[in-house]
Amino acid sequence: MPENKNDTIRWDWPQPYIHEVEVQPQHIDDFQHTNNVVYLTWMAKTAWEHSKALGLDFEAYASVNRGMVVRRHELEYLGASHESDRIWVATWITGNDGKIRLRRRFQMVHAETGKTLLRGLTDFVCINIETGRPTRMPENYVATYALTVDEASRETF
């Protein structure tokens, strides 16, 4: 059983931001495992928690009338989780074009077994909050959402 989520887990990328969740009864579907939509919710929550940890909460977004919104999700389910399981949701910023696009990668790991349950990604675009239209990221977004890992040589987004 893993004791330290950073030292004993085979993370896909180095130095993840990790948000821990626990599977609750309301997360369980008719198949008696966590419903797939819950994993997407955990990805969104982890991305937002990471943004807040970086100093970009909604107040910061509103102050410059710019925000990062989802353009696309991709999820690959690799294993099931069940009620009371603790899940470590890791994220990395793996793409930032310095203009309007940002990519996050995700890996969900069962805290007790160390097994990877999901790999995913989310592509974001910067928008003008008032109009909802895509617009260039402010310079502090480019700097704050700096790449954790540069995947540019592996794939474009």
CATH number at residue 38: 3.10.129.10
DSSP 51: H
CA 131/CA 124 separation, integer angstroms: 17
Whether 39 is covered by a domain: the verdict is: yes
What total number of domains does the chain contain? Answer: 1
Whether 128 is covered by a domain: the verdict is: yes
Q: Is the pLDDT of residue 85 over 80?
A: yes
CA 112/CA 93 separation, integer angstroms: 26
Report how far apart the first and last C-alpha atoms of the chain are (Å, whole number): 36
Question: Which percentage of the chain shows pLDDT scores above 90?
Answer: 89
Structure-block tokens of residue 117: 């349950």
CA 66/CA 141 separation, integer angstroms: 9
Whether 2 is covered by a domain: the verdict is: no
> How far is CA 126 from each of CA 15, 20, 97, 106, 156, rounded to the nearest angstrom?
25, 27, 11, 20, 18
Whether 12 is covered by a domain: the verdict is: no
Whether 151 is covered by a domain: the verdict is: no
pLDDT tens track for 34-73: 999 999 999 999 999 999 999 999 999 999 999 999 999 9
Whether 157 is covered by a domain: the verdict is: no
Whether 4 is covered by a domain: the verdict is: no
Could you tell me if 75 and 122 are in contact, meaning their C-beta atoms sit under 8 angstroms apart? no
Whether 5 is covered by a domain: the verdict is: no
The structure's pTM equals: 0.91
Give residue 139's domain range.
Answer: 17-144
Average pLDDT score over the chain: 93
Structure-block tokens of residue 25: 């009864």
